[in-house]
Amino acid sequence: MEFTVIIPARHASTRLPGKMLADVAGKPLVVRVAERARQGGAQTVLVATDSDDIAAAVRQHGFDAEMTRADHASGTDRIAEVAQRRAFADDHIIVNLQGDEPLVEPELIAEVATALEQHADTAIATAAHPITELAEFTSPNAVKVVIDHAGYALYFSRAEIPFARDAFAGGISDLPPGLPVLRHVGIYAYRAGFLRTYPRLRPAAIEQFEALEQLRALWHGYRIRVAVTGRAPQPGVDTVEDLERVRTLFRDARAARQTNATATGRKRRPQSRFAATRKSL
């Protein structure tokens, strides 16, 4: 399977301005995300951006970049502009990977692309994981998804869905056993043909009230395949605290690799004739 990863990366950020170029263990944040995309098996990785500085940094590290308009309402709109411009075949798979997700598992990228590739009747694929914590279920920042028996999305919402009528009659104080609650993971795979159609789709009221762009596709009758993964992905970078957490993880990982490499080198280093003589004494 061949697929392309496009990373929408706008320069402006409400909570953390300039975060795409923030240094993470010697490389910009967006480049760390591009590296993850390449590890996920993408044949092409490119960054769609409205910033000359972001484009220059991406190219400096060996990745492709394409300039887009600055007025896009969403990452999907930014990716759709690239799909309109490039000569992708209609059935070519494009994965939308957010530029502030440097800890995304490469396997998840491949899993979402595969979910779309294996279902020809599907325009979009995305991912979800089970919710086990009540606070996550009740948080409007955690988007929930309900799927049908075949794994297709029925609805996405910031509200508590599915709602257990009897168990929640006295208030939502616990998750009843067996309630199929899934949290949506914001990674998407699209067919290029759908992306060329998307900008012409009329926005839906449910999309605007929920502030969830995927509801536009559902409202217009497009099917969304949901790949359910067993574990929650690492959170992205939205705040200064998030950035410091990611920097620490990358520093620790690099230090561990250096330690392992040093230890391996010592094990493999050939003994000198003098050392061998000493060992035989």
Of residues 233 and 47, more confidence is placed in 47
Residue 63 pLDDT level (bands cut at 50, 70, 90):
very high
In the chain, the N- to C-terminal Cα span, in Å, equals 60
pLDDT at 279 over 60: no
Which tens digits make up the pLDDT trace of 200-225?
999 999 999 999 999 999 999 999 99
Which tens digits make up the pLDDT trace of 33-58?
999 999 999 999 999 999 999 999 99
Question: Pairing relation of β-strands 27-28 and 93-96?
Answer: unpaired
pLDDT at 129 over 70: yes
Q: What is the mean pLDDT of residues 19-44?
A: 94
Contacts of 83 (CB under 8 A, 6+ apart): 94, 190, 192, 195, 196
Where do we find the tokens 């988007």?
Answer: 143
- The Cβ of residue 267 has, within 10 Å, a number of other Cβ atoms equal to 7
pLDDT at 124: 97
Distance (Å, rounded) from C-alpha 101 to C-alpha 196? 25
Residue 235 pLDDT level (bands cut at 50, 70, 90):
confident
Residue 269 pLDDT level (bands cut at 50, 70, 90):
low
What is the rounded average pLDDT for all residues in the chain? 90
Of residues 72 and 207, more confidence is placed in 207
pLDDT at 75: 85
Kindly report which listed range (15-24, 54-63, 148-157, 255-264) carries the lowest average pLDDT score.
255-264
Whole-model pTM? Answer: 0.86
- Residue 157 contacts residue 147 (beta carbons within 8 Å): no
Which tens digits make up the pLDDT trace of 105-123?
999 999 999 999 999 989 9
pLDDT at 10: 86
